[in-house]
Structure 1
Amino acid sequence: MNKCLVAEPQNRPTAKELVNMLNIFLKDLENEKTELYKQVKNTKDLDKNFLTYDQVKSARFKYQTHPQAIYTSRSLKLSKLPKPASVG
């Protein structure tokens, strides 16, 4: 579990720890030899292919909503959610 999501605030990382983690993350993003860099590059390449596919697909299907349709939202009942678990 991510330390940032721990139920007890005193067990979460400090701002200084977060800055250090983000700096490491940024260095990994910029270094072509890291796995993170390779994964991000691969994802960007996939996005290019997906955008082309998505444009073709949207050209084929034109959806139109009914002018007299009424779209409403509804509230969700969240009273039965479990309490946050504490990681020790």
Structure 2
Amino acid sequence: MHNKNISGPGDKPTAMYLHEKFSQWWIDIVNNKKDSEIYKQIVEANKINKKQASFTKSDNTKLIYTTHQQAIFTSRLLNFNKLPKPKNADSVEEYSKSIEPIDFTKLNINP
């Protein structure tokens, strides 16, 4: 099996590495290999999922979601009446003429 250590965000695994890794995990799961890392993580995830009853099933298998009693779900229209009218330039040249250069040497920046 290709052994590549991934240490940071710039280190991207190859497709071959991912294929080998997923294949090994699949084999571990199918063979019920209880000492494998993926098997341990699945068991732990199942324990957590059983403890968190975010939804329940009724007799007709329709999902009934439970929410926190203080949760507020409301829809409302947003009022955008006080926004300034948009100023669109007709061309790139017109836009670039409207931009004033900034002299950074005259900025008063106190650390």
Q: TM-score category by the smaller chain?
A: 0.3 to 0.5
Report which of the two has the higher share of helix.
1
Greater RCO (CA < 8 Å, at least 6 residues apart):
1
Q: Say which one has the larger Rg.
A: 2
Report which of the two has the higher share of strand.
2
